[in-house]
Amino acid sequence: MAILFSTEFNISKERLRDVGVFDVLLDEDSPFFINVKRLQKCTEPEFAGSYERINRRFRDIGLLLKNAVPGGKLYRTAYEKFDFSEVNGINLGFSSGRHGAGFGPGLRSQIIKDAYEIIKSGSEQPEIFQLISLFEDNVGPDRLSDMIARIIYPDIVAYSQRVYRELGITPEAHPKYRFKNGLLKNPYKKYFLLLLPESIIHELPIARCWDDIDRVCAENQAIRAEINEMVSSEWTRMSSPARKEYLREQVFKDPDKLGRIIDAYQEEEVEACNVFRTPEYVTGVLKSTYQIPPSESDNSFDASLEIIESFKAWVEFHRGATVINGNSAKPSEKLIQIMIHGVAQMFCDKFNWDFSPETDSGRGPVDFKVSRGTDKTVLEVKLTSNRECVHGLEVQIEEYAKAENTQNKLYILVDTGSNSYRVQQVEQKRNQMLEAGLNPAKVVVVDAVPKVSASKFEPD
């Protein structure tokens, strides 16, 4: 089960977008974290001083360490100040992840020891603590998110209280729910639900157990420059702990190198996250807004057709088109694939079909495959904005079917309102293939063109 905040309280996507609040899942965690660089640019009034609050906390710890000796009073005080228990109620991260449980005594001791050595080497910028995932094991973005959330906890509470009022979620309007100090008790968990602006969250790495160091180093030009200058190809042969040790000893303890990295980090811009690019969250949205109907399919083609008809129904008659078009970026085939993936996974889990996204049998990766043993159906997805729509039907899916040794083919054409004439072109091509005695894929057209709400619709 997955229950969206908007579904529980019947709030429209448009209203959520106007307010700017993230539509969080209530009964499970959403795979995102608070991004401190996004927080720095946040325009919500409650978070106006949040970035400085974070740096002030770290600056105080750094000042203590600068004047401390190991084991002394100032050193112990710095350790005590580096205490960031997990904030319950924001429902971010991974429920079963190995990180995200705050900072235990052992990890705190190691971080303070390394921070002490870095600061004693001559670097005092508070941003050192924002970058600790680069030089400490067992510190990923979700644990950093917990740290940030704990520091700005008063701001999160104030924001949540205001948004609840704006959305009309009050004890008077919802007497069946429990409230305290303007906060709502999550009906699916034992904590009060804290809300966040969508503008400050970002994706967690898809591979939960991988260290995020490679991505961070690849995206941060200054760090990449230091690595290229000193280790070049050796970097690729280092283990993750060895890479972090190298950065800690050779970069973070060198004031000049660290200064260049922090200067670049301060200037770095992080684009807003499009939450509908994250498969696990999209699956949660699907589970919350649409239920898979019963199935009697006994072959892969009929099962695949039911999957696509379920997706089509969700888009055309439920909230799917709003989800597809309700984000800042234009719809992409990757986004549609993620959504179909979510529907297909729900269907296949329920009715015991094997589902494989982007399998490659030698002719390139087909978008999806549904199977039981040798009974296989290949599915290809195109948007009308893709100029290769006709080629996809005439050539692409045929090659994929040959590679999979199947005649079962399903071609999904999603009309997003861009170049809708391609629907007719694809249908004409399929008719030509039939007239030529060929066996073209069945075409399913999904109408994802944004609709005027029923209350505003005026018939001709």
pTM of the complete model: 0.77
- Location of each CATH 3.40.91 domain in the chain: 277-447
At residue 236, the pLDDT reads 66
Q: How many angstroms separate the CA atoms of 389 and 382, rounded? A: 6
Encode pLDDT of 240-273 as tens digits.
778 788 888 888 898 888 888 888 888 878 888 8
Question: Residues 264-290, buried b or exposed e (16+ Cβ, 10 A)?
Answer: ebeeeeeebbebbebbbbbbbbbbbbb
Q: Nearest-5° angle of CA 95, CA 98, CA 99?
A: 85
Choice between 358 and 171, residue whose per-residue pLDDT is larger: 171
**Would you call 330 helix, strand, or coil by DSSP?**
coil
Residue 28 carries which DSSP code?
S
What is the model's pLDDT at position 286?
79
pLDDT of residue 281: 83
Cβ–Cβ under 8 Å, residues 20 and 44: yes
> How does residue 96 score in pLDDT terms, banded at 50, 70 and 90?
very low
pLDDT recorded at residue 343: 86
Is the confidence at residue 78, as pLDDT, over 50?
yes
The pLDDT of residue 452 is 57
Residue 52 has pLDDT above 80, yes or no: yes
- Report pLDDT for 456: 47
Mean pLDDT of 199-206: 77
pLDDT at residue 86 greater than cutoff 90:
no
* Residue located via tokens 């997990």: 86
Work out the average pLDDT over 282-297: 81
Higher pLDDT, 224 or 24: 24
Per-residue model confidence (pLDDT) at position 228:
65
Q: How far is CA 412 from CA 44, 368, 456, in A?
A: 41, 11, 30
220-231 per-position pLDDT tens digit: 666 667 666 666
* CA-to-CA dists, residue 12 to 26, 73, 166, 170, angstroms: 16, 54, 13, 17
Mean pLDDT of the chain: 85
Question: Which residues have C-beta within 8 Å of that of residue 333, sequence separation ≥ 6?
Answer: 381, 382, 383, 386
Weakest mean pLDDT among 43-57, 159-173, 336-350, 398-412: 336-350
Residue 313: both structure tokens together: 């129904």
pLDDT value of residue 165: 97
Say what percent of the chain tops pLDDT 90.
Answer: 48
pLDDT tens track for 122-131: 888 898 888 8
Distances (CA, A) of 86 to 71, 100, 105, 144, 258: 26, 7, 14, 10, 29
Q: Is residue 155 over pLDDT 50?
A: yes
- Per-residue confidence (pLDDT) for residue 217, from 0 to 100: 61
Which amino acid, 311?
Answer: F
* DSSP string covering 170-196: -TTT-TTS-EETTEEEPTTSSSEEPP-
Tell me, which fold does domain 277-447 have in CATH? Restriction Endonuclease (3.40.91)
**141 or 316: which leads in pLDDT:** 316
**Looking at the predicted structure, is the pLDDT value of residue 186 above 50?**
yes
| Residue 62 dihedral angles phi and psi, to the nearest 5° | -65, -40
pLDDT digits (tens, 9 = 90+) for 203-221: 865 444 434 556 566 556 6
Q: Mean pLDDT: which of 137-151, 293-307, 321-335 is highest?
A: 293-307
pLDDT tens string 412-427: 999 988 889 999 999 9
Per-residue model confidence (pLDDT) at position 226:
67
